[in-house]
């Protein structure tokens, strides 16, 4: 079994035929046919059956496709990692949820200024998604709101503690209140992040603890969309204090009791592969001790 045979097999499945697969791969049709034939002969199974002039996966072929997808994904990841090692290219893949991405702008800017030779590849995803990507070695470091990291293969450190505020338009009737209960927040239409965001889970947990159900009118994974809806008075929302403290059209109201969470940096314990990851970790710890994570006012 060879890697190119698996690639040809996957493309035949994607194109539902050998002719189209050969065109997509820019190779001859016999080359694709021979690769499929060689696989079937090696494993003594039929991978496809022909129905109405179309190739349909057999039961064995369907199982093989699942395994092939995983093998090719791992092969691609290994190729990329070895390429970076072989060319001695400095690269750090950093995962940041939308709010923390904004708060970490100065950190990223200052690190680039201090280490221009290191390339930064940024991934803007939900916290739970980033934690899964980290375990799958698709990112090197993530900065996320705290979720009690306790995996033995992960290193982590707390960077700062932040507070989630109930945010409304500055002309909203609650804008002048010193604090608001979750029961009062439940009366307002709100916009929330989609599932897989730790902030969403934390807010919903608070509602559940108080026997309330939020009036969720909009869900999004974009911070900009949330800010626009709140600025225009169409919804309230739950955002970190650092996000709204420079927003002229939005008032952030503390919850009673306050809703706080730790922001932490998490990484796989494989720093021996990339020394530049250790460099970023140390730089981030020192930067946060000096400045913290906060939005840069334009």
Domain parsing of the chain, residue ranges = 3-86, 91-160+262-291, 163-259
pLDDT value, residue 272:
47
Q: Over 50: is that where the pLDDT of 26 sits?
A: yes
| Nearest Cα to Cα of residue 251 among 172, 162, 161 | 172
DSSP 254: E
154's CB contacts (< 8 A; 6+ apart) are: 134, 266, 267, 268, 269
Q: Is 234 helix (H, G, I), strand (E, B) or coil?
A: coil
More confident residue, 214 or 83: 214
Q: Over 80: is that where the pLDDT of 13 sits?
A: yes
Burial of 197 (0-12, 13-18, 19+ CB in 10 A): buried
pLDDT value, residue 274:
66
Q: Over 50: is that where the pLDDT of 139 sits?
A: yes
Q: What is the CATH number of domain 3-86?
A: 1.10.10.10
Q: Are 172 and 236 in contact (CB under 8 A)?
A: yes
pLDDT value, residue 229:
96
Q: CA 142, 146, 152, 156: dihedral to nearest 10 degrees?
A: 50
Matching CATH number, 163-259, of 3.40.190.290, 3.40.50.300, 3.30.70.120, 3.40.50.1970? 3.40.190.290
pLDDT value, residue 150:
61
pLDDT value, residue 156:
87
pLDDT value, residue 271:
47
User: Do 91-160+262-291 and 163-259 show the same overall fold?
Assistant: yes
Q: Is 95 helix (H, G, I), strand (E, B) or coil?
A: strand
DSSP 156: E
Distances in whole angstroms, Cα of residue 229 to Cα of each of 99, 165, 225: 16, 16, 6
The b/e string for 80-111 (b: 16+ C-beta within 10 A; e otherwise) is eeeeeeeeeebbbbbbbbbbbbbbbeebbeeb
Q: For residue 207, how many other CB atoms are within 10 A of its CB?
A: 16
More confident residue, 88 or 27: 27
User: Among residues of the chain, what percentage have pLDDT more than 90?
Assistant: 67
pLDDT value, residue 54:
79
More confident residue, 166 or 13: 166
Mean pLDDT over each residue of the chain, to the nearest integer: 90
Third-level CATH fold of 91-160+262-291:
D-Maltodextrin-Binding Protein; domain 2 (3.40.190)
Own/partner pairs, 43-49, CB within 8 angstroms, 24+ separation: 47/9, 48/12
User: Among residues of the chain, what percentage have pLDDT more than 70?
Assistant: 93
Q: Are 144 and 266 in contact (CB under 8 A)?
A: yes
The b/e string for 140-177 (b: 16+ C-beta within 10 A; e otherwise) is bbbbbbbbebeeeeeebeebeebebbbbbbeebebeeb
């Amino acid at each position: 079994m060879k890697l190119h045979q698996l690639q040809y097999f996957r493309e035949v499945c994607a194109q539902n035929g050998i002719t189209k697969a050969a065109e997509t791969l820019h190779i001859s049709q016999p080359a694709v046919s021979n690769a499929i034939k060689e696989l079937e002969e090696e494993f003594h199974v039929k991978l496809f059956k022909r129905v109405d002039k179309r190739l349909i996966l057999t039961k064995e072929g369907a199982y093989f496709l699942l395994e092939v997808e995983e093998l090719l994904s791992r092969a691609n990841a290994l190729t990329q990692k070895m390429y970076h090692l072989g060319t001695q290219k400095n690269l750090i893949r950093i995962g940041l949820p939308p709010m923390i991405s904004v708060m970490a702008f100065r950190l990223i800017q200052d690190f680039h200024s201090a280490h221009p030779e290191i390339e930064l590849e940024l991934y803007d995803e939900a916290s739970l998604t980033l934690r899964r990507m980290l375990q799958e070695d698709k990112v090197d470091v993530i900065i996320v709101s705290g979720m009690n990291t306790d995996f033995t293969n992960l290193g982590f450190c707390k960077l700062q503690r932040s507070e989630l505020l109930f945010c409304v338009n500055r002309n909203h009737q609650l804008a002048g209140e010193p604090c608001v209960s979750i029961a009062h927040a439940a009366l307002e239409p709100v916009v929330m992040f989609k599932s897989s965001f730790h902030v969403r889970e934390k807010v919903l947990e608070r509602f559940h603890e108080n026997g309330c159900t939020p009036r969720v009118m909009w869900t999004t994974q974009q911070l900009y969309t949330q800010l626009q809806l709140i600025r225009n008075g169409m919804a309230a929302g739950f955002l970190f204090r650092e996000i709204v403290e420079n927003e002229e059209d939005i008032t952030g109201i503390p919850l009673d009791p306050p809703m706080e969470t730790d922001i932490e940096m998490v990484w796989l314990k494989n720093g021996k592969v990339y020394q530049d990851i250790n460099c970023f970790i140390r730089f981030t710890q020192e930067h946060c001790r000096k400045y913290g994570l906060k939005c840069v006012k334009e």
